[in-house]
Amino acid sequence: MTQPQAASNKQQATPTDSLQLEGGAPPPCSLQLPPLAAYVHIPWCVKKCPYCDFNSHTSQTALPEDSYIDAMIADLEQDLPLAAGRELTSIFFGGGTPSLFSAASLDRFLQALNARLPFAADIEITLEANPGTFEQAKFSDYRAAGINRLSIGIQSFNAGHLKALGRIHDDREALSAVDMARRAGFDNLNLDLMHGLPNQSHEQAIADIDQAMALAPEHLSWYQLTLEPNTVFYSKPPTLPEEDILWSIQEAGQQRMAAGGYAQYEVSAYAQPGRQARHNLNYWQYGDFLGIGAGAHGKITHSDGAIERHWKTRLPKDYLAADKDVRAGRKTLAADELPFDFLMNALRLVDGVPASYYSARTGQSLTAIEPLLQQAAAKGLLEPWTQQLRPTERGKLFLNDLLELFL
């Protein structure tokens, strides 16, 4: 899984225009600096999957591990003033396929990061890994380097569906990957699963869930295949299940995971008690994060109340160029952009967030958007919101309709 992108472009006329939120950063009425995380992007893959629209690239030559780690350390140096010395609560290596890099390379980056910023005593450090790149000794070395959570891109345990998805691993390697991770000492695993796959039946989708739960990971990410622009599947669409089958898979899958002890806490995230992904929770609770690596995005709250989103150059060759500034862009959010930017994250959570988070993490009083909150509640999309900003069951089903009220 990769990090959320910056908020989408605003529409021409927005409901918040009438709420006197125009202008730049809001005054920090009760703003508090949120937790700080780091997202680290390693953009290479063995093969580009036909459904993938992430910033990932194949290479016909040996990966430039040393020079890329050097570039990320230089990138980090540039961003250090944004961190303002705050400790890191989580780190996430995403891609691409970060497990293509050696443990020694990732360890060198982690040491450089920890030399510049303190790590929380219970920091969560996640590595995305592809089953096709698993080697037992390699993953034991990852664990020794301080990586304490693996997110394994299984996608399916069905050999035919894996082939249709263009994955480089098969069903046996998927099972073996989990066993290797456990033997390497990992006691915190996420398995990525997709549903709504080409020609997938209801029974096959549920069989994937059953197999995943039989492996007893601490966390499951379960999401529907979508056809995204600039992908092979978008230009040459495969045959996907009908809408009624997709709906039955969604309902039955959620029930199956709940019965198996995996509580849904976000749109596509399910966890055993106390094993929610801390890094992703920080995104959804409107925390801050550094974005290090080619194409990485970051979000930072400044002490003066300004909230900034920034992003790095996408192409590895440009990122590695010594004479090129890797910072591709930055944007300070205007006051009228903050309600949507906050809520598009917070309302993905099944239980939402405490209402106090809005003022603490945007610097705006909740009363500034009270008319919109009342409108959402009147439409049956939002629970009573004075204590908790939480979507109703209807709001979860029609989340886009709920969020559009705040555009």
What is the token pair recorded at 377? Answer: 């509640």
- Burial annotation 321-352 (CB, 10 A radius, 16+ → b, else e): eeeeebebeeeebbbbbbbbbbbbbbbbbbeb
Mean model confidence pLDDT for the chain: 90
- 279-284 long-range contacts (CB < 8 A, ≥24 apart) are 279/37, 279/39, 279/90, 279/91, 279/92, 279/124, 279/126, 280/1, 281/349, 282/34, 282/35, 282/37, 282/89, 282/90, 283/3, 283/4, 283/37, 283/345, 284/345, 284/346, 284/348, 284/349, 284/353
pLDDT, mean of residues 307-322? 94
Reported as a single tens digit per residue, the pLDDT across 337-356 is 999 999 999 999 999 999 99
Q: Which alpha helices (H) appear in 134-242, and where do they start and end?
A: 136-144, 159-164, 171-183, 202-214, 232-235
Region at 130 (left for phi over 0; alpha for psi -120 to 50; beta for the rest): beta
Four-CA torsion 82, 302, 307, 22, nearest 10 degrees: -150
Q: How confident is the model at residue 277 (pLDDT cuts 50, 70, 90)?
A: very high
Q: How confident is the model at residue 17 (pLDDT cuts 50, 70, 90)?
A: very low
User: Furthest-apart CA pair in the chain: how many Å?
Assistant: 60
Reported as a single tens digit per residue, the pLDDT across 376-396 is 999 999 999 999 999 999 999
Per-residue confidence (pLDDT) for residue 283, from 0 to 100: 97
Reported residue count of the chain is: 407
Identify the DSSP state of 366: G
Distance, in Å, from the CA atom of 217 to the CA atom of 275, rounded to the nearest integer, reads 10
Distance, in Å, from the CA atom of 129 to the CA atom of 125, rounded to the nearest integer, reads 13
Phi and psi dihedrals of 302, rounded to 5?
-90, 160
Dihedral over Cα of 295, 26, 77, 286: its sign: negative
Distance, in Å, from the CA atom of 407 to the CA atom of 402, rounded to the nearest integer, reads 10
Ordered by start, the domain boundaries in the chain are: 1-24+334-407, 33-282
CATH code of the region 33-282: 3.20.20.70
Give yes or no for a contact between 299 and 307, defined as CB atoms under 8 angstroms apart.
Answer: yes
Looking at residue 214, its amino acid is: A
Q: How confident is the model at residue 29 (pLDDT cuts 50, 70, 90)?
A: low
Per-residue confidence (pLDDT) for residue 75, from 0 to 100: 96
pLDDT for residue 196 is more than 90:
yes
Residues in Cβ contact with 387 at an 8 Å cutoff, skipping those fewer than 6 apart: 354, 355
Q: Which CATH architecture has domain 1-24+334-407?
A: Orthogonal Bundle (1.10)
More confident residue, 46 or 75: 75
Reported as a single tens digit per residue, the pLDDT across 101-141 is 999 999 999 999 999 999 999 999 999 998 887 777 889 99
